[in-house]
């Protein structure tokens, strides 16, 4: 592969860019990529950089080792949870977790979760926030919050019912039951399940396909689909008309039409 660049100024994640595809790997395999302060803040920064980098067209989020992400690192809480301790988890969400899922959803680029192992708690929420999820056959998905007396957070109560329906979302959140990769595919939680050894290759193949498409068209489409949850039908029609007017003025649109007429493959440059 060509066009490879690696960023090394992080401690808990690895970042690599190959052919306009940026892969962000959560890298605390010894604790199943559990989320401590450092990891959440580095994810925020990495997602912000990916969104602003014009040389990046697609982002892949994955985990090192056996897990995608096991959620909050409960080991960090041992010294806090003593008699008299009063947790303020709402503020923790606002500072650490919510900015990550917001950057994923608001980024004008596709974000693909390559789920290599367990995705639990906020780790599952991060995967759900992505636009597409490809799972290893070894992957599993767990809304574990109820097991510690908490509610699903980091966007799960928004994204999960939209993917699997309200009744199934209620069941998974109430019970905290583990969902296998095959079951996740059946209920619409993931887009595709592949052999574990093929996960990154298959994810990069899809990412490469998306990276070759018109980035402005992709960005406008992502925005419209996200807006559709809040708009009524007439408002969505108007939003489509506005976005289509914008897309039609790009050089990529002209290139696509001319390439079709000339019966050749278009070369989209992002203009």
Q: Which domains does the chain have, with CATH numbers?
A: 4-211 (3.90.226.10), 215-261 (1.10.12)
Query: Looking at the predicted structure, is the pLDDT value of residue 103 above 60?
Result: yes
For the chain, the average pLDDT equals 94
Q: What is the pLDDT of residue 5?
A: 67
Query: Looking at the predicted structure, is the pLDDT value of residue 194 above 60?
Result: yes
Distance, CA of 238 to chain centre: 28
Q: What is the mean pLDDT of residues 240-255?
A: 96
Higher pLDDT, 90 or 77: 90
Q: Model confidence over 9-59: pLDDT tens digits? A: 899 999 999 999 999 999 999 999 999 999 999 999 999 999 999 999 999
Q: What is the pLDDT of residue 81?
A: 73
Question: Tokens 């992002």 correspond to what residue?
Answer: 270
Q: Model confidence over 153-168: pLDDT tens digits? A: 999 999 999 999 999 9
Q: What is the pLDDT of residue 268?
A: 95
pLDDT category at 198 given cuts 50, 70, 90 is: very high
Per-residue three-class SS string for the chain: CCCEEEECCCCCEEEEEECCEEEEEECCHHHCCCECHHHHHHHHHHHHHHHHCCCCCEEEEEECCCCCECCECHHHHCCCCCCCCCCCHHHHHHHHHHHHHHHHHHCCCCEEEEECCEEECHHHHHHHHCCEEEEECCCEEECHHHHHCCCCCCCHHHHHHHHHCHHHHHHHHHHCCEEEHHHHHHCCCCCEEECHHHHHHHHHHHHHHHHCCCHHHHHHHHHHHHHCCCCCHHHHHHHHHHHHHHHHCCHHHHHHHHHHHCCCCCCCCCC
User: Do the beta carbons of residue 109 and residue 132 sit within 8 Å?
Assistant: no
């Amino acid at each position: 592969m060509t066009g490879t660049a690696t960023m090394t100024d992080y401690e808990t994640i690895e970042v690599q860019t190959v052919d306009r595809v940026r892969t962000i790997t959560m890298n605390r395999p010894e604790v199943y990529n559990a989320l401590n302060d450092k990891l959440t803040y580095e994810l925020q920064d990495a997602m912000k950089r990916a969104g602003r980098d014009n040389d990046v067209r697609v982002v892949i989020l994955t985990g090192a080792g056996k897990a995608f992400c096991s959620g909050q690192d409960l080991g960090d809480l041992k010294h806090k949870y003593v008699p008299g301790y009063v947790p303020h988890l709402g503020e923790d969400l606002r500072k650490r977790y919510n900015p990550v899922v917001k950057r994923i959803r608001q980024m004008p680029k596709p974000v693909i979760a390559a789920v290599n192992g367990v995705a639990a708690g906020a780790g599952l929420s991060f995967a759900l926030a992505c636009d597409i999820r490809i799972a290893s056959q070894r992957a599993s998905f767990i809304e574990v919050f109820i097991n510690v007396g908490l509610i699903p957070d980091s966007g799960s109560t928004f994204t999960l019912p939209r993917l699997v329906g309200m009744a199934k979302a209620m069941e998974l959140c109430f019970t905290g039951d583990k969902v296998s990769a095959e079951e996740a595919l059946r209920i619409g939680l993931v887009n595709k399940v592949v052999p574990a050894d093929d996960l990154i290759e298959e994810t990069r193949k899809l990412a490469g396909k998306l990276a070759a498409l018109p980035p402005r068209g992709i960005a406008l489409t992502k925005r419209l689909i996200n807006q559709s949850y809040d708009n009524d039908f007439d408002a969505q029609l108007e939003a489509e008309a506005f976005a289509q007017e914008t897309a039609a003025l790009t050089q990529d649109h002209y290139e696509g039409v001319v390439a079709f007429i000339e019966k050749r493959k278009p070369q989209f440059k992002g203009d």
